Amino acid sequence: MRFNAKDSVVIENICIAGALFCLVLGGTLYLLDAVVASGWALAMLCMFPAGLLGVVFALHRKLRSDALEQCNRVLCELAETKLTVHTLRRNKALMQSVFNASNNIYYVFDTLFVCQNVITSREDLLEFCHATDPSGQRLEELFAKNFSGRIRGALLDSLKRNRQQSIEYSIENNGKERWLEGRALALPQSGCGARLVVWIARDITEEKCNREAVRVLSTRLALSEEQQRRRIAVELHDSLGQILAIVKMRLNLLGRYLKDGDERKLHDAVMEQLGSGIELTRTLVWELSPPTLYALGLVSAVEWLGEKYAKEHDIAFSVEDKMQCCIWGSDFKIMMFRIVRELMANVVKHANATSCVITFTSDSEGVSITVNDNGKGFPEGTVQKGLQKGFGLLTIQESVYHLGGDVQYTSNGVGGSVRIDFPFKQIAPVSEFQTGAATGTYDG
């Protein structure tokens, strides 16, 4: 039987009252022992229920204390449970909002590459990628043949090595294109169940557009810098160079009227200093923007630069032209000259090489440039991880990536090689540069 607090008080009061009554009755009978012969026996008989009522009171009080303690413990556990439920609900709502805000599609595949389930909050993206529900379909039925094999390889590698693999791919639908980044992630095996692997497709269309905008901006900045260098070179050649040339001509005329002596020696010294100034101006013009690059093209400009470095640093530079197309009228040659010049400077500074070969090749896809030297090669790990340090080479790497190209490094015991590949679709249109005496003829 269950009692509330009021019932417990009543029971305790009854026990106390009953015990007191029995004690009083027993005492009275004990005092009357002399009058009533059986008084003592009756007194002892009254003391027994009084003791029994006291025991009942003590047991009830203990049970009540235990019940209160258990009740408090249950209330505390209930409060903790409510707090935990509230926290779980809040975290669930937060995770649901994060999931709803994501641009991901989660494909769950088994080891036979059959889609078991698809989880996503981007129903529009799922409908764009697949006309029907992907569940139950094979990998080859979900993705185009040109990259379904790559996805299969990434899933297999993730299953074997338990690490993520990433692939970028595009999907076209009704004339629209979306770019996605796919990552393979093997799930932990639970018990004796089948192994599963998840293909996470993230919409990176906006990110791709931003990257393209950054690439275009980087190209424009580099071309703007080259344009300023070109203008300075033209101004040096057409203005300062002409002034120095006229001064030299007039000093030559003046020298005809001078006889041998101090005046003649002073004239010869001035002519020598003036010749040095003219040569320095010419060197500055070529350093800022080689006229050969605009007059004869990229390969000729690199040949000139190789001859210059060969004289200054005792390194044999040779250029091989295997291109099947002409990139005459394109800003691409400006950007490539900057990159090749940096690579050649790196060979001079760090490679400890005695010879270097620059090879230009092209095919239907694009243009490739290879710089191969017989020096000490690249630091360990560069071939697998790419460049991690070195301002010059890092600048080259970032410049190539921003322009949409690719860089490959090869290093062995007899030297290092850098190969740069540029697809034709990444080659920017030509910009309008000032022309003058320093530019040579240029037909755009």
pLDDT digits (tens, 9 = 90+) for 83-131: 888 888 887 777 667 666 777 888 999 888 899 988 888 888 888 888 8
**pLDDT value at position 191?**
64
Radius of gyration of the chain (CA): 46
pLDDT at 435 over 50: no
Claim: this prediction has a pTM higher than 0.85: no
Which residue has better confidence, 9 or 271? 271
Check if the beta carbon of residue 411 is closer than 8 Å to that of residue 378.
yes
Kindly compute the dihedral angle of the four CA atoms of residues 387, 391, 393, 397, in this order, to the nearest 10 degrees. Answer: 70
* Number of helices and strands in the chain (H, E): 13, 10
Q: How far is the CA of 106 from the CAs of 102, 123, 135, 152, 333, in angstroms? A: 11, 12, 11, 15, 44
Check if the beta carbon of residue 288 is closer than 8 Å to that of residue 229.
yes
What percent of the chain is helix, strand and coil (3-state, nearest 5)? 60, 20, 25
Flag the least confident range among 56-65, 77-86, 320-329.
320-329
How does residue 164 score in pLDDT terms, banded at 50, 70 and 90?
low
DSSP for 295-338 reads: HT-HHHHHHHHHHHHHHHH--EEEEEEE-SS--TTSTHHHHHHH
Helices within 162-204 (DSSP H only) = none
Among 9-23, 181-195, 358-372, 425-439, the range with the most confident prediction by mean pLDDT is 358-372
Dihedral sign for Cα 227, 229, 233, 235, please: positive
Average pLDDT over residues 346-358: 87
Average pLDDT over residues 311-333: 77
**pLDDT value at position 356?**
92
Average pLDDT over residues 393-408: 76
Give the burial class of 400: count Cβ atoms within 10 A of its Cβ; 0-12 exposed, 13-18 middle, 19 or more buried: buried
Q: How far is the CA of 96 from the CAs of 89, 90, 102, 105, in angstroms? A: 10, 10, 10, 15
What does the mean pLDDT of the chain come to? 77
pLDDT at 433 over 50: no
**pLDDT value at position 50?**
67
95 contact partners, CB below 8 Å, separation of at least 6:
none
pLDDT at 224 over 60: yes
